[in-house]
Amino acid sequence: MRFTFADAMTNPQYYVPLAKAAEDAGYHSFAVADSICYPEVSDSTYPYTPDGSREFLENKPFIEAFILITAMAQATERIRFVPFVLKLPVRPPVLVAKQAASISALFGDRLSLGVGLSPWPEDFDVMGVPFPKRGKRMNEAMKIIRGLTSGGYFEHHGEIYDLQSIKINPVPAKPVPMLVGGHSDAALRRAVRLGDGWMHAGGKADELDEILTRLAAVRKAEGKENDPFEIHVASIDAFSVDGVKRLEDKGVTDVTVGFRMPYQMEQDTQPLEEKIAALQKFSDKVIAQCG
């Protein structure tokens, strides 16, 4: 099992020392949250809070994901970074390909590209991107990123994007893993057909089991049940050695852990020293025992 550390909406000055501490403590990856903006007026709902409220996001600090990854990667040597998740359809895919390839080339292929659909129509509006057909937009964007980061000339002629033959340089020495977030059937199909893995956003244990069953069915239907495939899960089971074993038995490859509730209205006032102590304590009690 591999372990990913997650902290978000915290003091921006904490991220670099947290990345260093997570690397030293044996974490495999560092999860990076993505948020474009917060609209003053919106009737959108958040899919991962019980009541759909999104007010906890207001006035919370979010550093642009690729900039934050660059800063942390510069200060570390081994730990990987994974957006959890990058709101891909609101971004130009050629630019995302260039950003992902540049980070991978600079920092030893330590980027996994977690991507997903933004639930906020406002994100699309402010970026000048139509909200309809966002699923098709994401599918084509993933294909473009895959093609351009593989090296050589690549062209794409689809319903959403029409891209002449181009290439970018440098490209990663290894393919950038693309992981798809989301719990819908469409997200699971996208993860299997176009991605290298799936990312779970949290929820009840029985809900995870149901999603994993659906995911296995999709992999079998696509003839990919035996292909390498990453499954990143956020679960209470990850906080004990026995729980990690249960997740491994279900086919989970990576667990994401954080040590405070993110869906809070209040600003994060936890001192950096307490954050580092928490990630180190987990490493001592769980990661070291699962090695």
Q: Per-residue confidence at 264, pLDDT binned at 50, 70, 90?
A: confident
Distances (CA, A) of 68 to 20, 99, 260: 13, 12, 20
What is the amino acid identity at position 271?
Answer: P
Instruction: With beta carbons less than 8 A apart as the criterion, state whether 172 and 113 touch.
Output: no
pLDDT reported for residue 213: 97
pLDDT reported for residue 88: 98
Q: Per-residue confidence at 84, pLDDT binned at 50, 70, 90?
A: very high
Span 51-65, average pLDDT: 91
pLDDT reported for residue 203: 79
Which run of H or of E encompasses 43?
Answer: none
| pTM confidence score | 0.96
pLDDT reported for residue 86: 98
Q: What does the alpha-carbon distance between residue 130 and residue 236 come to, in Å, rounded to a whole number?
A: 37
Write down how long the chain is.
291
187-232 residue pLDDT tens:
999 999 999 999 998 877 789 999 999 999 999 999 999 999 999 9
129-175 residue pLDDT tens:
999 999 999 999 999 999 999 999 999 999 999 999 999 999 999 99
State the Cα angle at 71 between 69 and 72, rounded to 5°: 65
Buried b (16+ CB within 10 A) or exposed e, 257-269: bbbeebeeeeebe
DSSP character at residue 284:
I
Distances (CA, A) of 101 to 137, 157, 177, 209, 282: 20, 22, 11, 34, 32
From the CA atom positions of the chain, what is the Rg in Å? 19
13-27 residue pLDDT tens:
999 999 999 999 999
Give the E-state strand segments of 106-208 in sequence order: 113-116, 154-157, 162-166, 178-181, 197-199
Q: What is the dihedral of CA 203, 206, 209, 214, to 10 degrees?
A: -80
Q: Is 289 exposed, middle or buried (0-12, 13-18, 19+ CB in 10 A)?
A: exposed
What average pLDDT is seen over the chain?
95
Q: Per-residue confidence at 41, pLDDT binned at 50, 70, 90?
A: confident
CATH tag, 2-290: 3.20.20.30
pLDDT reported for residue 137: 98
State the Cα angle at 112 between 107 and 116, rounded to 5°: 140
